[in-house]
Amino acid sequence: MFQGKGNQIVFSLLLLSTNYFHFFIGRANNPSIFLTDCLKKNIFVIVVKIRDIELGEFPLLLAPMEDVSDPPFRALCKKHGADLMYTEFISSEGLIRDAAKSVQKLDIYEYERPVGIQIFGYDIESMREATRIIEKTNPDIIDINFGCPVKKVTCKGAGAGMLQNIPKLIQMTDAIVKETNLPVTIKTRLGWDNESKFVVSTSEKLQDVGVEAISIHGRTRVQLYKGEADWTLIGEVKNNPRMRIPIFGNGDIDSPEKALEYKNKYGVDGIMIGRASIGNPWIFNEVKHFMATGTHLAPPGIKQRVEAAKEHLMMSIQWKGTTLGIVEMKRHYTNYFKGIAHFKELKSKLVTSMDLTEITDTLTYISENESEFYFV
């Protein structure tokens, strides 16, 4: 593309592949000389895409987490730099039965985009029907959960339970891809146990049936969340010459340094952050800043933490109602104020009180008396 601007030319070359934009951009009097110079200097940008959804050079994803990644929490993570977010996982059977909790999880908002709705289940026909229901809510992506290790899910063959039946896992995915016009992505694990780490071959098969991105947690189902996440096989999937779709790594990313280290070591297209974002939605921008500059953003102080907790609380009440909003915020206070000395009494007030005025007064007191508190 050439655009004249006085005697200068703004020049950009766009090379389009299935999931990435490669482009050179700059200004030069002679575009051909400029392009040659860019090629010599290896000046280029790769923008990760899921179909036509542009996610940036190295996207940071918010992991789907049950009872955590609801609209209020997603709003905070979006505000602080998350590039792509997923809902809590939703039972296909619950959607078909029109169960209130499952249906409520379909709530998505324009400011969240791009956003994916994640489903799980064992019966293929039920998953197809749930896909049709989800499509009506107009998400950007449909994600299939093949990674949840919780026993009540896996004992029914759903979530990570599907890793014990790879042929059915592929058959289900194929059916869902054919059922919808939306991009389909996958969240999964290395395998069921150490003897069945089939993620490299499984990822090829998932790509072959039309999956457009895969997020991989670096543990088996048997490990649950114990031990250290092993990204070796995630790197093998990403660097497999057969793979063309974006591969996102997940597991134990809890600092900007680790995010940059794993990006460079394993070559993934992006990182999915889960538990480290609970009570710490700032982690997304912290990682981005560190990757761009090699320096750290100032950590959020007491006032910022109180402001985030208040915002989270009020959005939770607006979305869930006063009682449920207050109850479900209790799990978050410990994380928002983690590591603060002499905080036990105030934390007890926050997690035991059901009185909204008392809770907001306590948060205001913490903010107004921030000099009394310090991190240990």
Q: What are the domain boundaries of the chain?
A: 2-43, 56-293, 302-372
User: For residue 114, is the peptide bond before it cis, meaning its omega torsion is within 30 degrees of 0?
Assistant: yes
Instruction: Say yes or no to pLDDT of 200 above 80.
Output: yes
Distances (CA, A) of 288 to 72, 250, 258, 263, 317: 22, 16, 12, 12, 31
User: Spelled out in words, what is the top-level CATH class assigned to the domain 56-293?
Assistant: alpha beta
The vertex-180 CA angle with 178 and 185, nearest 5°, equals 90
Of the candidates 214, 168, 160, which has an alpha carbon nearest to the alpha carbon of residue 192? 160
Same fold: 56-293 with 302-372: no
CATH of 302-372, one of 2.60.40, 3.40.50, 1.20.120, 1.10.1200: 1.10.1200
The reported pLDDT for the residue numbered 67 is 85
Which residue type occupies 360? Answer: T
Q: 29 or 105, which is more confident?
A: 105
Instruction: Say yes or no to pLDDT of 343 above 90.
Output: no
The reported pLDDT for the residue numbered 26 is 40
Which one is catalytic: 38, 77, 148, 155? Answer: 148
Q: How confident is the model at residue 376 (pLDDT cuts 50, 70, 90)?
A: confident
246: left (phi over 0), alpha (psi -120 to 50) or beta: beta
- Catalytic annotation present for 148: yes
Q: How confident is the model at residue 18 (pLDDT cuts 50, 70, 90)?
A: very low
As a whole number, mean pLDDT of residues 101-128 equals 93
| Residues 233-292 pLDDT 10s | 999 999 999 999 999 999 999 999 999 999 999 999 999 999 999 999 999 999 999 999
Rounded distance between C-alpha atoms, residue 187 and residue 248, angstroms: 9
The reported pLDDT for the residue numbered 6 is 35
The reported pLDDT for the residue numbered 13 is 37
Quote the percentage of the chain above a pLDDT of 90. Answer: 76
Q: Which one-letter DSSP state was computed for residue 120?
A: E
What does the mean pLDDT of the chain come to? Answer: 88
